[in-house]
Amino acid sequence: MSTTQRIKGFADMFPPESDAFTRMENTGREIFARYGFVELRTPILEFTELFQRSIGEETDVVQKEMYTFPDSRGRLMTLRPEATAGVMRAYAESGLAGREGVSRLFSCGPMFRHERPQKGRLRQFHQINCECLGSASPFADAELISMLLHFFRALRLSGLTLNINSLGCAVCRPHFREALLRYLQSLDPAALCEDCSRRMHTNPLRVLDCKQASCRAVVEGAPRLLDSICPDCAEHFSTVQKLLDRQGHAFALDHRLVRGLDYYCRTTFEVVSSQIGAQTAVAGGGRYDGLVKSLGGPDVPGVGFACGMERLALLLDAPSPAPLDFYLVALEEEGGLQGHALAQTLREAGLRGEMNFSRASWKSLMRQAGKSGARYCLILGPDETARGDIVVKNLESGEQNTLGQDTVCHFLQTGTIHD
Ligand code: HAM
């Protein structure tokens, strides 16, 4: 280990990826605001119990993937593996439920899961997360899914598939769970992978989304959730589909879509891409009506989603950075003094530019100006500083003019010489 080595699964982010992240955040802010969302920033560190109680003790996230450690008083703390739990805690703790009918909260930032790193899977990754709290209506589910697809269109993403399912509710899911368990117990015990042989007793629904070929084959013959949900859940799901249909959103019903976190009920959904390798899900979410109550808050229904920003970045065109307007080459001490003040004036007027810090030769400074990609090189030599002038060279055409220093700003902004 060396002090200049980063931790496995933790990435540094330079342009163009960091530019892509800024674009996603700004686009998200703009689109989500149109639906009434406001930004909530929650801490990265929470008490471990929050995640155990919300995500579920039997999930892979809680069992294997959390970064958990005791603080100096021995209390267990965890780096958040997802945003929903913290948002629910903040919602309950702030008393927002008593003040607002429906709360729409958007968050983004780093999450931490100790998974095996690969393309599109990191140990520190970033999510854009939206939660709509306070409505049990299927209109809330459909509006949220439409907003997610709107966000993806605004980012000019294509080739994405929306998969949806219903997990039923506290009334009908236990019946399905029993039917599924009976089916799994009727199989040859060797038919399931090691994880699923265990999960079958703790969380049998998770067997449905196991990626192992043997389990996938077994699941083909398993009972299906949609065949056993109660009339209320069926009506809810049918309205969600009708609303998506009316908007012309294509979707596929995926009876294996149970999601890896325990708080979901009724609608679940994922958006997948076939262009980013094995980790195909760019966003996932669903309804979680009992969650806030289970954490000790009010009985408030909710629905939400999170997008994986690293995976979306793989799909975004690299944004081309805006070129610098000027590179100022200042010679000798007086050139440096005048150039420093002038460059500052130009930037405060909205222009983008750099100036040389080193006292290199004129030739090497001109080379640096060329490399900077700036539109114009501004040259302040001894003759110019004595007269209050500046040489302005168009680095593309090579055309050169001498202007008064007080007119260069106007020239850079408009391309015309001020008389
Ligand atoms: P999730 O499906 O666990 O859901 O994660 C959402 C998205 O985060 C995934 O679709 C994926 O794009 C990204 N993601 C997850 N793990 C990683 C990783 N290790 N590396 C890179 N990207 C990753 C949730 O987290 C729920 N809290 C979503 C939600 C919000 N449900 C309701 N509200």
Which ligand 1 atom is at minimum distance from the Cα of 283?
A: 10
Same domain for 332 and 296: no
Contact 285, 269 (CB under 8 A): yes
Judge whether 410 lies within some domain: yes
Judge whether 366 lies within some domain: yes
Of 50, 127, 287, the one to substitute when testing ligand 1's pocket (max ligand atoms within 8 A of C-beta) is 127
Same domain for 124 and 36: yes
- 399 CA to centre of ligand 1 in angstroms: 53
Distance CA 382, CA 376 (A): 19
Judge whether 177 lies within some domain: no
**pLDDT at residue 126 above 80?**
yes
Residue of the CA atom closest to atom 22 of ligand 1: 308
Report the sign of the C-alpha dihedral through residues 16, 18, 20, 22, in that order: negative
- 282 CA to centre of ligand 1 in angstroms: 8
pLDDT tens-digit profile of 238-257?
999 999 999 999 999 999 89
- Looking only at the bridges linking them, the beta strands covering 103-112 and 38-39 are parallel
**pLDDT at residue 340 above 70?**
yes
Distance CA 43, CA 30 (A): 23
Residue that terminates a domain, selected from 259, 283, 315:
315
What would the mean pLDDT of 353-358 be, rounded to a whole number?
A: 95
Judge whether 3 lies within some domain: no
Same domain for 303 and 340: no
Same domain for 103 and 126: yes
**pLDDT at residue 220 above 90?**
no
- 82 CA to centre of ligand 1 in angstroms: 7
Same domain for 341 and 255: no
What would the mean pLDDT of 24-35 be, rounded to a whole number?
A: 98
- HSE-CB at 3 with a 13 A cutoff on CA atoms is 0
Judge whether 218 lies within some domain: no
What domain range includes position 295? 17-172+229-315
CATH for 291: 3.30.930.10
| Residue 74 identity | G
The predicted pLDDT at position 419 comes to: 61
Residue of the CA atom closest to atom 25 of ligand 1: 82
Residue of the CA atom closest to atom 14 of ligand 1: 308
Residue that terminates a domain, selected from 272, 295, 315:
315
The predicted pLDDT at position 108 comes to: 97
Angle between helices 138-154 and 231-246 (to 10 degrees): 30
Same domain for 121 and 251: yes
The predicted pLDDT at position 407 comes to: 96
Same domain for 330 and 301: no
Average pLDDT, the chain: 94
Same domain for 256 and 151: yes
Same domain for 234 and 117: yes
- 81 CA to centre of ligand 1 in angstroms: 9
Same domain for 90 and 120: yes
Measured CA distances, 225 to 95, 158, 165 (Å): 35, 30, 9
**pLDDT at residue 418 above 70?**
no
Angle between helices 138-154 and 17-33 (to 10 degrees): 140
Query: Using a 6 Å CB cutoff, which residues line ligand 1?
Result: 82-84, 113, 115, 120-122, 125, 127, 129, 131, 260-261, 281-286, 304-306, 308, 310-311
What would the mean pLDDT of 278-283 be, rounded to a whole number?
A: 94
The predicted pLDDT at position 354 comes to: 97
Looking at the structure of the chain, the number of domains it has is: 2
CATH for 342: 3.40.50.800
- 85 CA to centre of ligand 1 in angstroms: 12
Q: What is the dihedral of CA 238, 133, 82, 59, to 10 degrees?
A: -60
The predicted pLDDT at position 248 comes to: 95
The predicted pLDDT at position 213 comes to: 86
Residue that terminates a domain, selected from 282, 315, 348:
315
**pLDDT at residue 260 above 90?**
no
Q: What b/e string do you get for 64-84 counting C-beta neighbours within 10 Å, with b at 16 or more? A: ebbbeeeeeeeeeebbbbbbb
Same domain for 379 and 282: no
Same domain for 149 and 120: yes
Of 8, 24, 104, 111, the one to substitute when testing ligand 1's pocket (max ligand atoms within 8 A of C-beta) is 111
